Structure 1
Amino acid sequence: MIAGIVTGAFLQLIMPNGSDLVIPLYLFDFSVRGFFVDGVFEVIGQIFVASLRMLVVPLVFVSLICGTCSLKDTSKLGRIGGKAIGLYLMTTAIAISFAMSLALFVSPGEGVNMASETTFASKEAPSLAQVLINMFPSNPFASFAQGNMLQVIIFALLFGIAIALSGQAGERVAKIFTDMNEVIMRLVAILMNIAPYGVFCLLAGLFTDVSLKTFGNLLVYFLVVFFALLVHGLVTYPVILKVLTGLNPLVFLKKMRNTIVFAFSTSSSNATIPVTLETATKKMGVKNSIASFTVPLGATINMDGTAIMQGVATVFIAQVFNVDLSITDFLMVILTATLASIGTAGVPGVGLIMLAMVLEQVGLPVEGIGLIIGVDRLLDMTRTAVNVTGDTMVTLIVGKTEGEFEKDIYLDDKAGTQIEEIDFHHLKEQ
C-alpha cells in the first residue's frame, strides 16, 4: 500500500494535472501514462477487484448454507440475526449522531463558495416498505447474476434451514456444501497470493491523479469527515467491544490491519467479504456458523462510514446554502440515514446516491452533492475501512455472546497470519 501511494505520488510529480510524459525511442514514442497508469496498473488492479467480486456470491451463499444448516436450533438463528441487526443499527445511529454534532461544532460550510459547475442527478430512493419487499427474491438465479446480496442472504438462510430440517437427505446435501466450502476457501487462498500486487496497482493508479489541491475550500469538510471516521473506528468500536465482551480491543485493531488495507484499496465492503470472513474466523476465533451470517449481512446493511459522511455532508450543504435545519430535521436525517443503510449496496460511490435521498427528506438542494464529489473518493476508501471494522466487531460480539468463539485464537498473535502457499509447480508435475 505504501509503495503504491509513493509510486503514484512520484508519477503525479512528473505528470501533473493529468498530463502525460512521452519518451521518444528509436522505433516509437513511449507513453508513461499509457503504459503504467492506463495499462499495467489499471489492468492488474481491476483484475484483482474483479477476482474478489467473483468470489463474493458463491462464498456468501455456500458459507451461509454451511453455517445455517449446522444450527439445528432455528430459534438460535433468529437470536443471532436479532443481535447482529440491532448492533448494526445502533452503531449506525451513533455514527451519524456524532458526525452531525461534530459538523455543527466545526461549521465546515460557513464561508464556502456556493458556485459549482458540477451537478448530481439523484435517483429516486425506494421506501422502507419496498426495501423490505426487495429483500426476498422472486428469482434466486437473477439475484446471483445481479449480485443482490440481501436476496442471496435470504435465499441461503431459507435453503440452509430447509437442509437442517430434512433429516438424512439434508445431511447428504450438507456434506456436498461442506466440500464446496473447502474448495472455495482454497480459491480464496490462491487469490490472496496476488493480493499485494493488486493493492499496489490500485493505489498507484489512484494517487497518480488525486491531488491535495482538489480539496480547496473543502479541506475543512474533508478533515471533519476523516476525523469522525477515525474516532468511530478507533474509539467507538473498541469501547463497544470492551463493554460487551471484555476482550482487549488493541488485539482486535491489530488483527484488523490487513482487512482495513483491503477495504481501503477496493472501496467496496462486498469485495472485501472474503478477507473479512477469513479474519473473523481464522484470526479472531469466531466460528464459521456465526461469521458466515454476520459478515455478509454487515457488508450489506452496516454502513457506519457512509452514515458519517451523510451527517457531515448534510450540515455542510445546509450551511453552504444558508438553510437552517430544525431539531426535527436533524432527527429525520438520523432516522433516514440509519434506515437507508439497510438498502445501501456495499459498492464504491453508492453513499452519494443515498445522500441524495437524505437531502430530499429535509428539503436541501440535491445539487449540493456536486460540491463534495471532488473529495469523496478518498473519503469513500476510508469509510469502507470503517464499515468492515464494524462488521468484524459485531461478528466478534455475537460469536462471544453465543459461545461460538475461541479465545485462544483471538489471543494468538500468529493465528491466521500465514497465507497458504500454493505450490503451482507441484500441481504442474501432477
Structure 2
Amino acid sequence: FLGTSSIAIFVGLFWVNVIAPGAEVEASALSDVAGAHAFEAPQDPGGVLQVIWAQFRALVPENPIAAAAQSAMLPTIFFSLMLGVFISIVEHDAHREASVREAVALVRRFFEGVYAVMLEMTLKVIALAPIGVFGFVLYAAAAHGFQVFVALFGYAATVALALAMHALLVLPVLLFVIARRSPRRYAAAMMPALLTAFSTASSNGTLPLTMERAVEHGGVKKPVANFVLPLGATINMDGTALYEAVAALFIAQVYGIDLSLGQQLVVALTGLLVSVGAAGIPHAGAVMMVVVLTAVGLPAEGVGLIMAVDRVLDMARTSVNVWSDSVVCAIVDRFTPAPPEACDRAAQNV
C-alpha cells in the first residue's frame, strides 16, 4: 500500500512540476478571491538529506498536545497512528487482565465517538460548500474574467493526467509483472466497482461490490479479499495522495512560491501520512488538504482556490483508490497459498 501511494505521489509531483498550471497565473487573479493577503514564502529547510533526517527526527513529538496546538502536523499524525496501533495491540492481548483490556476498549470507543462527531461536523460544513464555491466563482469571473477558469482547467487537467498515468500505466505494470495477471481482463472484472466508485466518490460505499467482483470475477481468494480490500479502503488512497501533492504545488505556484526539492519531499511525506488517515468518503482529500498546506507553511485558505473543481476530481481519484486496492489485492493473492477450493473457473479466466 505504501509503495503504490508513494509512486502515485511522485507521479503527481512530476507532472505538476512539468506543466506548472499555476505558474502563469497572476497571484491576484485567484489569491485575493480566497481572502489571502501578502504571504511570505516558507523557509527552505535545506538539502534533501537534511530534510529527510529532520522529518524523521520530528516524527516523535516531545509533547503530543503541544505539537497539535502548534499545528506540527507530521508528529501529530505519527503519534495518532502509533496510539491507534498500540490501543489495538493491548486490547487484543490475551495475556492482559480483562479489566485492562476493557479499559483500553473504552478508550478506543471514546476516540471512535470523537471521530464520528468531528466527521459529522465536517460533512455539515461541506454541505454548505456549494454556496461558497458559487460565490467564489461568481466573484472571480466578474473580477478577473476567464483567467480564473483557465488556471483551474490547467490544474484539473494536470491532476487528471497524473491520475490516468498512475491508473493506466503504473498499476497495470505492477499487476502484470508482480501478480502475473492480465491487466485488461482484471480491469474488466473490476469495472462495475470502479464505475460505482466514480459515481459515489466513496471507497467505503463501494467496498462490498469491490469484494464481490474481486472474488467472483477476479479470481481472488476470498480470505485475501476479506483482509486486503477493507484494509485498503481505509489506508490505501493512491488517488488522494496524488491529488494532495498536485494541489499543494498548484497553490504554491499561484502564490508565486517556488518550493524546493526538500519542501516537496515534506509535501510527499505529509501527503502519504494524511492519505492513510483520510476517510473513504466524498471530499475527504479536500479536508485533509489543509494538513498538507500547513506542513509546508502555505496558507490554509488556499484550499478555496481548488474547491470549484474538486467534485469531479474527487470522483476520479476515488476510482483510482479502488483500482489500486484491487491491484494490491491481486498481488497479495499471488503470494498467498491457495486452498483446494480456490481453484475455480473465475481464476482461470484472469
Q: Supply the distance in 2 between the matched residues of 1:132 and 1:381 (Cα, whole angstroms).
A: 30
The residue that corresponds to 1:93 in the other structure is 6
Does the Cα contact within 8 Å between 1:251 and 1:411 map onto a contact in 2?
Answer: no
Q: Deviations over 1:254-307 (max 9, x none)?
A: 112101111011111111110111111111121221111110100000111011
Does the Cα contact within 8 Å between 2:234 and 2:279 map onto a contact in 1?
Answer: yes
Shift of 1:230: 1.2
One-letter amino acid of the counterpart of residue 302, structure 2: G
Change in 2 beyond 3 A, CA 1:330/1:410: same
Q: Supply the distance in 1 between the matched residues of 2:269 and 2:151 (Cα, whole angstroms).
A: 29
The residue that corresponds to 2:346 in the other structure is 409
Greater relative contact order (Cα 8 A, min sep 6): structure 1 or 2?
2
Does the Cα contact within 8 Å between 1:267 and 1:380 map onto a contact in 2?
Answer: yes
Question: Is residue 2:158 matched to residue 1:224?
Answer: yes
The residue that corresponds to 2:210 in the other structure is 276
What is the aligned-residue identity percentage?
38
Q: Supply the distance in 2 between the matched residues of 1:374 and 1:215 (Cα, whole angstroms).
A: 10
Q: Supply the distance in 2 between the matched residues of 1:410 and 1:143 (Cα, whole angstroms).
A: 41
Question: Is residue 2:324 matched to residue 1:355?
Answer: no
Q: Supply the distance in 1 between the matched residues of 2:264 and 2:109 (Cα, whole angstroms).
A: 40
Question: Is residue 2:65 matched to residue 1:127?
Answer: no
Shift of 1:358: 1.1
Q: Supply the distance in 2 between the matched residues of 1:260 and 1:247 (Cα, whole angstroms).
A: 18
Q: Deviations over 1:68-104 (max 9, x none)?
A: xxxxxxxxxxxxxxxxxxxx10011000101111110
Does the Cα contact within 8 Å between 2:77 and 2:273 map onto a contact in 1?
Answer: no
Q: Secondary structure at the match of 1:110?
A: coil
Question: Is residue 2:270 matched to residue 1:336?
Answer: yes
The residue that corresponds to 1:105 in the other structure is 18
Q: Secondary structure at the match of 1:130?
A: helix
Q: How do residues 163-178 of structure 1 correspond to structure 2 at under 5 angstroms?
A: none
| 2:30 aligned residue (91, 114, 136) | 114
Instruction: Give unpaired runs (5+ residues) of structure 1.
Output: 1-87, 149-208, 414-430
Q: Supply the distance in 2 between the matched residues of 1:408 and 1:142 (Cα, whole angstroms).
A: 46
Does the Cα contact within 8 Å between 2:77 and 2:274 map onto a contact in 1?
Answer: no
One-letter amino acid of the counterpart of residue 30, structure 2: M
Q: Supply the distance in 2 between the matched residues of 1:227 and 1:369 (Cα, whole angstroms).
A: 20
Flag the structure with larger Rg: 1
Q: Deviations over 1:295-325 (max 9, x none)?
A: 0100000111011111111111111011111
Q: Supply the distance in 2 between the matched residues of 1:274 and 1:145 (Cα, whole angstroms).
A: 24
Q: Supply the distance in 2 between the matched residues of 1:260 and 1:382 (Cα, whole angstroms).
A: 10
Q: Secondary structure at the match of 1:95?
A: helix
Q: Supply the distance in 1 between the matched residues of 2:321 and 2:327 (Cα, whole angstroms).
A: 10
Shift of 1:354: 1.6
Change in 2 beyond 3 A, CA 1:133/1:218: same
Does the Cα contact within 8 Å between 2:220 and 2:330 map onto a contact in 1?
Answer: yes
The residue that corresponds to 1:242 in the other structure is 176
One-letter amino acid of the counterpart of residue 337, structure 2: G
Q: How do residues 5-404 of structure 1 correspond to structure 2 at under 5 angstroms?
A: 88-112=1-25, 113-118=29-34, 126-135=76-85, 136=87, 138-139=105-106, 215-404=149-338
The residue that corresponds to 1:5 in the other structure is none
TM-score normalised by the chain length of structure 1: 0.56
Q: Supply the distance in 2 between the matched residues of 1:144 and 1:133 (Cα, whole angstroms).
A: 13
Task: Report the number of matched residues.
Answer: 262
Q: Deviations over 1:105-164 (max 9, x none)?
A: 0010022223454469xx96542111231354634667887897xxxxxxxxxxxxxxxx
Q: Supply the distance in 2 between the matched residues of 1:327 and 1:385 (Cα, whole angstroms).
A: 29
Does the Cα contact within 8 Å between 1:215 and 1:374 map onto a contact in 2?
Answer: no
Q: Supply the distance in 2 between the matched residues of 1:107 and 1:116 (Cα, whole angstroms).
A: 20
Does the Cα contact within 8 Å between 2:275 and 2:285 map onto a contact in 1?
Answer: no
Q: Secondary structure at the match of 1:98?
A: helix
Q: Secondary structure at the match of 2:252?
A: helix
Q: Deviations over 1:233-264 (max 9, x none)?
A: 11111100111122111111111210111101
Q: Supply the distance in 2 between the matched residues of 1:222 and 1:117 (Cα, whole angstroms).
A: 19
TM-score normalised by the chain length of structure 2: 0.69
Q: Deviations over 1:367-392 (max 9, x none)?
A: 11110000000000010000000111
Does the Cα contact within 8 Å between 1:119 and 1:369 map onto a contact in 2?
Answer: no
